[in-house]
Amino acid sequence: MGEGELKLLQGTLDLLVLKALVFGPRHGYGVARWIRDTSDAALQIEEGALYTSLHRLERRGWVESEWGVSENNRRAKYYALTADGRKQLAASTRTWTRYAEAVFKILGAAEAEATA
Amino acid sequence: MTPFPSLRRVFRIAGVRRDVKADLDEELDFHFQCTIEDLVAQGMTPSAAREEAHRRFGDLRRYRRELESIVRKRVTMDRLAELFLILRQNVGYTLRGIQRSPGFTLAVALTLALGIGANATMFGVVDRLLLSPPAHVKDADQVRRLYARMHSRRTGRSYHQTYLSYPDYVDWTNCRSFESVAAYATDEVTVGRGLDAVRVTGSLATGSFFRLLGVQPALGRFFDESDDRSAPDVAVLSYGFWQRRFGGDPSVLGRTLQAGPGRLTIIGVAPRGFTGIDLTQVDLWAPLHAYSLIRESDAWEHMRTMYWIQIVARLRPDAGVEAAETEATHLHRAGRSEQIQQGHYDPDVTVVAAPIVEGRGPNAPAESVVSVLLAGVSLVVLLIACANVANLLLARGLRRRREIAIRLALGISRRRLVGQLMSESVLLAVLGGTAALLVAAWGTELMRSVFLADIAWTESALNPRVLAFTAVLATVTGLASGLVPALQSSRPDLVNDLKDSAREGTVRRSRTRAALLVTQGTLSVVLLIGAGLFVRSLQRVESIDLGLDPEGVLLAELELEPGERTSEQVSTIYDRALERLRAVPAVEHASASMGIPFWSGSIEELFVPGLDSIPAPPPGPWIDGVTPGYFATLRMSIRRGHDFNDGHVAGATRVAIVNESMARGIWGNKDPLGECLMIGSADAPCTQVVGIVADTRRQRVVESQKWIYFVPVAQYPDESPAALFIRGRIDASQLAPVVQRELMAGNPDVRYAVVRPLQDLIDPQLRAYTLGATMFTVFGLLALIVAAVGLYSVLAFNVAQRRHEIGVRSALGASTNAIVGQILKEAVGLTLIGLTIGLLIALAAGGSVGHLLYEVSPRDPLVLGTVTLTLLLVAAAAGAIPAARAARVDPNDALRVE
């Protein structure tokens, strides 16, 4: 894996994790399941990477964690967005959307030229 | 900001600092269990589910490692952030406290400034005198000073001989334990000639000297053995002298310098701050054999009875000190065997290889000893200051009990609270420490210029070592004085404190504070007694009747141009000088002599008809050759008979004047006038006693009375005067330049005249006493002031706190006297306890300073009495204002407070 690839992947992964927490605090497993369910398992993400992402986000202060009790009555570590995390999510979403739009535009243009 | 404020708080207060690994394990366990359960619920077998869970997770070990490092970094950052936050809060809290009570802050900072400043001053002095090795010396631990430890048959005590002879040095150059050996001798020397000349300190050193010390020249080169052997007419300048005399001109190398009677070529400049191995300023160094040029003789090379050089050695890296001493002792005894056989030298002499720092060796200068003592004293002052600050903080803690109780009730942890209170005292100590630097700068200036003027102070008063010391001391002081008050304040009786107004409850805490007050009193007493003893010593020493009056007397020594002269020729030079001086209107008396009181003198064999031996106190009766008018110049009173006159020349009847002790010792009640002395040998012609002069001190201010007799210098065979004494009608410092010009101008024989007050020879002998008396007094008064302020503040605080009680009592009919009496009783009571303990300590410890005192018992009743009285008076004074305030308490006001 090249370095550029990893960065893109990591940034995208962080974005997905932040998004997973926007509806309320979740534990790590919850985040993994939400991403899996929402994407219909289309994204091949190692769950270990999700955890490193969560901890990295926590270190940056975008996410905080507390031990709580899970739905099946077990001790679990819950993650929640901080105010900074929310801002970051909004900003990243904008950037990613613009980026995706730009990529799509180019891809679309190429198609048009080819058919012309 | 945080979505789980309550959780966070619960978490923090529970204080569970879980292990990072355990936390991660639990989190990941939970993940795997959930995944496996879900998969099993979807119909997988448990083992297949486990496999799938691991596949989905990825490389567990790698992720585990990554996670751990991320978490660790976060935890560290969190802790730092938390610490920073607490620090900021504490500082903010402290600064608000300072703003609220500037008077309190000032009192504390000032107290600490004095205490810490005194210590910083003494540290600077002790560091220079005892701790730091001489500048620029490499591996100073390996360099040792050599002393000969001998037993004096005369005094029955053993002593360490610092000055030895050149042959002793040569003996030790064969010592295998030494890498090298060097010798040096330091003396004043005149550089230049005539009115441009200056007196500088010169050091003659063997060629091995600089190499042994491992010092590198700042310019040019040092001399070595070959210079010393073959061309000793070279000189190395000290950095300071090079700057002063030559403005730091590098072209000085190769120039010549008139030093004493010799012309020396400048070959190098020593590095800045280098003073050899002694701490006193040296201006130039020349090879030891330059001494032959000065003396115009090399007899010194073989004279074992000429004790004039100090010897240093560098040990071989593998040689132990003891082994070196044993070997050096062996060589020394062998070298001195002839003298030992003749009974002129102690056969049991041993060689001591002492540290290079003179103050740590056997002959520590009095300044070093007194400085160490004073450093201890300054530490005591600091202790008093600490006790005082602790007391002030305690009192304030009491006043703030309600505030603290409220904060504790609101859930601040005790650790946080103690931290806040401690950071307050540390900040106060930082303030105090900063102010202490001012005190130290001033104190050091005083110490250096007044008491330790001979020491070459190469570093500034606030050098890095002193700064570091001050910083450490300030921190320790802050912690020490803050800890007890902080702990006490943070352990209040919550319910009562909240219920009470800030008024009551002084009694509960007063035991600690009383103990602190008693400690202060005790320490002050000890210091004041020390001060009293030293002051009394100084008084005793100063009031010693020297038998002569040095005040207003100038001592002049002539340096003659090189050349052979008979003693008659030299005498003529002095006679002419006396004529010229006596013609000066400002000169009252002028005379000359061979010996110089407190400096040099001679002893001759003496015989008296009818006596087998002369029962003179050792080392024997001193003889001096003087000119007529000598006794008048020094104001030595002639008890009987008459002074010499111009008729007492060579060939005339030989005459002598003896001092009272000698007259009494030899002739008892018989009239000595007209009696006979045989000077030099038993068959010498009779010298007739023509007068009796008052007893005087000969070499030292403090010495047993010597027997001294005087003869006209003109009748002393083959001798000539060596010094001139001038008593002026004007101030000595004004007269000195006049005398110097008179002696040098138009006199081709005189190259330079050294003129200085006779008092200069006496003052150094008094310095240790002056230093001790002054500094002890300063510190003692400092301690007394601090202790008095402490007593006052506590009493004043008590009165303020007990306004209500006093009001009630006075409303119930207590007389003003009773109220005032109670306050004063408290003050004097505490003081009495401190006084008693202090006196006991002083009595017990008195013996240890006995050797520093002069004719004062460590239990001197006058001193003990004065100190007792002073302390009680001060206690009463400190109690007076609070007592007066208590007397003025209006019951109406006091009772209306609630």
B660-694: pLDDT as tens digits: 999 999 998 899 999 999 998 888 899 999 999 99
CB contacts, 8 Å: A52 with chain B: 63, 66-67, 70
Report how far residue B508's alpha carbon sits from residue B394's, in angstroms, rounded to the nearest whole number.
12
B277 close to B138: Cβ distance less than 8 angstroms: no
Predicted confidence band of residue A9 (pLDDT cuts 50, 70, 90): low
For residues B268 and B239, give the distance between their C-alpha atoms in angstroms, rounded to a whole number. Answer: 10
Provide the pLDDT confidence category of residue B510 given band limits of 50, 70 and 90. low
Contact A79, A9 (CB under 8 A): no
Q: Which helix (H) or strand (E) holds A92?
A: helix A83-115
B83-124 tens-digit pLDDT: 888 788 877 877 787 777 777 788 788 888 988 999 999 999
3-state secondary structure of B117: helix
pLDDT the model gives residue B467: 92
Structure confidence at residue A116 as a pLDDT band (50, 70, 90) = very low
**B738: confidence class by pLDDT, cuts 50, 70, 90:** very high
Measured CA to CA, the distance from residue B177 to residue B603 in angstroms comes to 40
- Looking at the complex, report in whole angstroms how far the Cα of residue A65 sits from the nearest Cα belonging to chain B: 9
With beta carbons less than 8 A apart as the criterion, state whether A79 and A31 touch. Answer: yes
Neighbours of B314 (CB within 10 A): 24
A to B CB pairs, distance under 8 Å: 83
Task: Indicate yes or no: pTM above 0.90.
Answer: no
**Is residue B351 classed as helix, strand or coil in its secondary structure?**
strand
Task: Give the pairing type, strands B234-237 and B262-269.
Answer: parallel
Beta strands (DSSP E) in B543-605 are: 553-560, 587-593, 602-603
Do A77 and B74 make contact, defined as CB atoms within 8 angstroms?
A: no
* Residue-wise pLDDT tens digits, B59-69: 889 998 989 88
State residue B596's pLDDT score.
92
Residue B492 has pLDDT above 70, yes or no: no
- B383 and B790 Cβ atoms separated by less than 8 Å: no
Q: How confident is the model at residue B6 (pLDDT cuts 50, 70, 90)?
A: very low
Yes or no: say if B722 and B595 are a contact pair by the CB < 8 Å rule: yes
Using the Cβ of B3 and the Cβ atoms of chain A, whether some distance falls under 8 Å is answered with yes
> What's the mean pLDDT in B554-583?
90
Concatenated DSSP letters of B260-309: TTEEEEEEEEPPTT-BTBSSB---EEEETTHHHHHHT--GGGT-TT---B
- Whether residue B17 is predicted with pLDDT greater than 60 in this model: the reply is no
Other beta carbons within 10 Å of B556: 21
Question: Nearest chain A Cα to B65, which residue?
Answer: A52
Q: Specify the amino acid at residue B52.
A: E
User: If you average pLDDT over every residue of chain B, what do you get?
Assistant: 86
Tell me the two tokens of residue A1: 């894996």
> What is the pLDDT, as a whole number, of residue B1?
38
pLDDT of residue B705: 87
Tell whether the model's pLDDT for residue B7 goes beyond 70.
no
Query: Which 29-88 residues of chain A touch chain B by CB within 8 A?
Result: 29, 32-33, 46-49, 51-52, 55-56, 58-59, 64, 66-68, 70, 72, 74-77, 80-83
The verdict on a CB contact (< 8 Å) between A55 and B77 is no
Of B4, B57, B74, the CB nearest to A58: B74
Determine how β-strand B143-151 pairs with β-strand B350-355: antiparallel
d(CA B67, CA B75): 12
B30 in reach of chain A (CB within 8 A) = yes
Decide if B81 touches A, using CB distance below 8 A: no
Average pLDDT of B739-755?
Answer: 87
- The whole-angstrom separation of Cα B192 and Cα B751 is 9
Smallest Cβ distance to B7: which of A46, A66, A72? A66
Q: pLDDT at position B322, please?
A: 94
What's the pLDDT score for residue B292? 87
Span B552-561, average pLDDT:
90
Contact B30 A29 (CB under 8 A): yes
Lowest-pLDDT range of A35-39, B324-328, B424-428 = B424-428
Looking at residue A44, what is its pLDDT? 74
pLDDT value, residue B329: 96
| pLDDT over 70 (residue A112) | no
B356 secondary structure, DSSP code:
S
Residue with tokens 């210091």: B527
| pLDDT, greater one: B593 or B377 | B593
**ipTM for this prediction:** 0.86
Contact yes or no for B30 and A27 at CB 8 A: yes
Q: What is the pLDDT of residue B497?
A: 59
CB contact under 8 Å between B27 and A48, yes or no, is no
| pLDDT surpasses 80 at A109 | no
- Closest in B3, B33, B70 to A56, CB measured: B70
Token look-up 């935890």 returns: B75
Which among B34, B59, B71 has the least Cβ separation from residue A29? Answer: B34
* Range name among B507-511, B528-532, B624-628, B883-887 with the lowest pLDDT average: B507-511
Most confident of B201-215, B295-309, B554-568, B710-724: B201-215
Per the DSSP assignment, residues forming a β-bridge with B264 are B257
- The C-alpha atoms of residue B366 and residue B767 are separated, in whole angstroms, by 9
3-class DSSP state of B690: strand
Cβ contact B191:B256 at 8 Å: no
User: Could you give the C-alpha distances from B221 to B211, B215, B227, B235, B277, in angstroms and in order?
Assistant: 11, 11, 11, 10, 19
- The first and second tokens of residue B205, run together, are 């050193």
> Which chain B residues are closer than 8 Å to A68 by Cβ?
7
B30 vs A59, A74, A82: nearest CB = A74
B561 — phi, psi (to 5°)?
Answer: -60, 145
Q: How far is A15 from chain B (nearest CA, A)?
A: 18
Does the beta-carbon distance from A48 to B58 stay under 8 Å? Answer: yes
Q: What is the DSSP letter of B449?
A: I
> Residue B213's pLDDT band (boundaries 50, 70, 90)?
very high
Q: If you ran DSSP here, which 8-state letter would residue B596 be given?
A: B
